[in-house]
Chains A and B, each alone.
Chain A
Amino acid sequence: MTIADHDMSSTAVESATTESRRARFLRRFRRQGWAIGALVFLVIVAISAIFAPWVAPHDPLSQSLTDSFAGPGSEYWLGADRLGRDTLSRLIFGARYSLLAAAQAVLVATVLGVPIGVIAGLARGKIDAVASLVADAVLSIPAIVLALAIIGVLRPNLTNAMIAIGIVYAPRLFRVVRSAAISVREETYIDAARASGVGMLTIARTHVIPNVLSPLLVQISLALGFAVLAEAGISFLGLGVQPPDASWGVILGQGTVKLEEQPLLILFPGAAILLTVLAFNVLGDGLNDSLGREIRRE
């Protein structure tokens, strides 16, 4: 058997198992009622964020002092803030910042954590020891404190805040990817591939990455939840999105200042953050339950 034959047959086997794995995953995932609900919710939030100018009933920035602190009603479904801005419209536009910021942060975390995790898991030895120690050290520093420190050094703005959150979360992704890479490394077919002269890079691409994807998917869902939360916290403190732009955290922060006049101003952005974070967590758990057993078995 030539190497080309070997490659073709292994690819064929690979795609066959991927297919059945996907079918099994879908069958299991379909039974996860809560996770599906969470996914639907997130899709709705994302679509309204993308089409915000068409979905939102008002201009989120248009002020009307006569409507200051208006309660929910036919004009303002969720009421209005001190400047008479429509809360629902602000939340819909705020979703753009919150979700985009979260995606940025997770992208940073993925770019930092995943390649290093794959390398450390495959190479083991000193590279792994050093990378793991660095990850442990980063994880020793409380996430928010480290994020604030990075922002403090870089200057407070949304992009820097998301870089900071990405750096803080990277070791978590690193750990998951690393342990997945290690377990793949222990498999016999890796030895076989290496024996037949396949390079480490090819092994990483053809064997490790596909096997790392499932746990990574779970982690990314959880990471998005974390990032939405962290962005909200940082913007709440005034260190992220700068007004008049407003993410959910900014809206919540502004509501907190006027807590006594209109409690609803914290309730709705608070609910938006809570539900979104919860949805990412529930989705992550659902994915984990649908994927989990295969990961352990294979």
Chain B
Amino acid sequence: MLRLAARRLLKVIPLLLLVSFISFGLLNLVPGDPAVQIAGEFATEEQIEDIRAGLGLDRPWPVRYASWLGDAVRGDFGVSLFSKVSVATQIWDRLPATLSLIGLSLAISALIGVPAGTFAGWREGTVLDRFLTMGTTVGVAVPVFVAAPVLILIFGIKLDWLPATGYVPITANPIDWARSLMLPAIALALTGAAEIARQTRAGVIDVKKQDFVRTAHANGLATWQVLGKHTLKNAMIPVITVIGLQIGRLFGLSVLIEQIFNIPGLGSRLIAAVFENDVPFIQGTVLILGTVIVLVNAAVDISYGYFNPRVRAAA
């Protein structure tokens, strides 16, 4: 198990380097002279020089990359172009809201997706299965920016059960925190729940034909043992991948959700940075999120060992 983990983590290094290179290279996508472009048409010569120095554009790029990466590894992503506030500080300030949104949403999508998919797969071909399958096909395609306003309208405005927008930090009031995140988390969870349900259904259908499930039936195990224990644990192996992939997607979609629900997270700050051409902040965010996803993917692969003893043995 440890060897498996070590081997997988070794593969992470070149990936992380590439992610950092992509983040760094974003600046080179700027057409023409980045400093002139970023400063805008009404900038003075002084402002342009200021930006040039701020981005370190006066040095050759390998030197810049090395020092940028060196700083980044130590948690220094530079300062925002105009506000001059440390990018790292902004990211850490914003991360808790984004992480709580994603965590809650992941929990909701698993709590809906796994049981729904299990039931559909176990009762394959029944009316309920078809109903659920159709629901997940549509669910996968519902854009968050369509689901979110609809949820706001129904639960936030018409029924007035939950706050429509805004965010309360958990440190201020845990109950209000949960209430403020409920609608955004549900909006964010819908696609994931549908995806997880689809994969769970496929997994259950596949596993229930296996010989060991027949053995479990032949040994007279109760349905909950055959389904809940033997079928589900084996069917979960591919589902874990899907859940892992969801995390990346959730980080992306949370940008939209944070904007719609007015949550002060990383995503809403990123949008502001995009409007402001705040390249250092954009680079820092891409690097942080890319790193998080690479590590999450590695963790997902390693967790295979738990679900699948054969993988553990193969390492």
A contact set with B: CB distance below 8 Å: 133-134, 136-138, 140-146, 148-156, 225, 229, 232-233, 236-239, 249, 252-253, 255-256, 259-260, 263, 266-267, 270, 273-274, 277-278, 281-282
> What 9 new A-B contacts, CB under 8 Å, besides A151-B274, A233-B143, A256-B145?
A137-B18, A140-B290, A148-B282, A149-B26, A149-B283, A229-B141, A259-B153, A270-B150, A277-B143
Whether B252 and A142, one on each chain, are in contact in the complex, defined by CB atoms closer than 8 angstroms, is yes
- Whole-angstrom CA separation of A232 from B255 in the bound complex: 14
- Whole-angstrom CA separation of A203 from B251 in the bound complex: 42
Interface size class of B (residues with CB under 8 A): 35 or more
Q: Which of B141, B149, B273 contacts A277 (CB 8 A)?
A: B141
- Whole-angstrom CA separation of A140 from B255 in the bound complex: 16
Q: Does B300 contact A (CB under 8 A)?
A: no
Across-interface contacts of B267 in A (CB, < 8 A): 145
Across-interface contacts of B72 in A (CB, < 8 A): none
Whether A133 and B275, one on each chain, are in contact in the complex, defined by CB atoms closer than 8 angstroms, is no
Q: How far is the CB of B132 from chain A (nearest CB, A)?
A: 16
- The verdict on A140 contacting B294 (CB below 8 Å), with A152-B273, A153-B26, A154-B30 known, is yes
Across-interface contacts of B29 in A (CB, < 8 A): 150, 153-154
Nearest-neighbor residue (CB-CB) of A146 within chain B:
B286
The 25 sampled A-B contact pairs (Cβ below 8 Å) are A137-B22, A140-B19, A140-B297, A141-B286, A142-B289, A143-B249, A145-B251, A145-B267, A145-B270, A145-B285, A148-B270, A148-B274, A152-B270, A152-B273, A152-B275, A153-B29, A154-B29, A154-B31, A155-B277, A237-B256, A252-B146, A259-B149, A259-B152, A267-B150, A282-B137
Q: Does B271 contact A (CB under 8 A)?
A: yes
DSSP class of B's interface residues: helix, strand, loop or mixed? helix
- Whole-angstrom CA separation of A247 from B115 in the bound complex: 38
Whether B278 and A145, one on each chain, are in contact in the complex, defined by CB atoms closer than 8 angstroms, is no
Nearest-neighbor residue (CB-CB) of B293 within chain A:
A140
Q: Does B243 contact A (CB under 8 A)?
A: no
- The verdict on A270 contacting B146 (CB below 8 Å), with A133-B15, A138-B22, A152-B274 known, is yes
B contact set with A: CB distance below 8 Å: 14-15, 18-19, 21-22, 26-27, 29-31, 37, 137-138, 140-146, 149-150, 152-153, 157, 248-249, 251-253, 255-256, 259-260, 267, 270-271, 273-275, 277-279, 282-283, 285-286, 289-290, 293-294, 297
- Whole-angstrom CA separation of A259 from B164 in the bound complex: 11
Q: How far is the CB of B26 from chain A (nearest CB, A)?
A: 5
Q: How far is the CB of B40 from chain A (nearest CB, A)?
A: 10
- Whole-angstrom CA separation of A245 from B21 in the bound complex: 36
For the complex of A and B, list the 4 residue pairs with the smallest distance between their C-beta atoms, beginning with the closest: A142-B252, A152-B274, A144-B252, A137-B18
Whether B141 and A149, one on each chain, are in contact in the complex, defined by CB atoms closer than 8 angstroms, is no
- Whole-angstrom CA separation of A266 from B286 in the bound complex: 31
- Whole-angstrom CA separation of A142 from B285 in the bound complex: 11
- Whole-angstrom CA separation of A225 from B294 in the bound complex: 26
Q: How far is the CB of A257 from chain B (nearest CB, A)?
A: 10
Across-interface contacts of B294 in A (CB, < 8 A): 140
Whether A152 and B278, one on each chain, are in contact in the complex, defined by CB atoms closer than 8 angstroms, is yes
Whether A153 and B297, one on each chain, are in contact in the complex, defined by CB atoms closer than 8 angstroms, is no
